[in-house]
Amino acid sequence: MNDKTTYCFLDFETTGLDYRKDQIIEVGIIKTNSKFEEIDCVNFFVQLEDGRFLPSPIIELTGITKRDLDSGIPLRIAKEAIARFIGNSIVVCHHAAFDLGFIHDVIKPDFYCTRTIHCIYHPDESHTLINISKKLGFPNKTQHRALTDAENTKKLFKYFVQNIGEDGIKVFKNKLIYMPDRPYRYLPDNAVLMT
């Protein structure tokens, strides 16, 4: 990889699955150099916008409460901070179209989707980050929390780079694969769908 390349391993917890109706509630981003050495990291809660509520299934899934979000930062400021933090880095997410949909109005970065890569190399296996993390032996202190999921995405991407090589991984830059179990609600402008 280019020595000047930086990656931002990103995960959001949200109020739901649709970027048009839902919002980010927790941000976890780990910035690394091309050797996956950490440069910086952010993890924070985002306040609910007026008129929004935190659905019970999300509370049960994440453990995040309204009290946590009350101490967070406003959504507009959060999005601006995310865009500044990412800058020119390549973003890596486990479900890139999902996460990037929530920030498409402030940044449109180049990206890798670890779920897409996993679908190509392990089509008959579960593609959830939790199941892949268990299979590969990544520690999973907290499930469905942004920073833990960002850390496991980093480990998964590093695993793929080590196993298919730097040239092999480049094939997947800005690529997505159709996933019938979770149809895309948002497709990045620079995305190319693989068949």
Given this model, what pLDDT does residue 121 score?
Answer: 94
Output the pTM of the full model. Answer: 0.95
Given this model, what pLDDT does residue 41 score?
Answer: 98
Other CB atoms closer than 10 Å to residue 159's CB: what's the count?
16
- What confidence tens digit (pLDDT) does each residue in 56-91 have? 999 999 999 999 999 999 999 999 999 999 999 999
Alpha carbons 117 and 20: distance in angstroms, whole number: 26
Structure tokens at 95: 């479900």
- What confidence tens digit (pLDDT) does each residue in 152-183 have? 999 999 999 999 999 999 999 999 998 887 88
Alpha carbons 24 and 127: distance in angstroms, whole number: 22
Alpha carbons 7 and 155: distance in angstroms, whole number: 12
65: left (phi over 0), alpha (psi -120 to 50) or beta: beta
- What confidence tens digit (pLDDT) does each residue in 120-150 have? 999 999 999 999 999 998 876 667 899 999 9
**Pairing, β 24-33 against β 38-45:** antiparallel
103-116: b (≥16 Cβ within 10 Å) or e: bbeebebebbbbbb
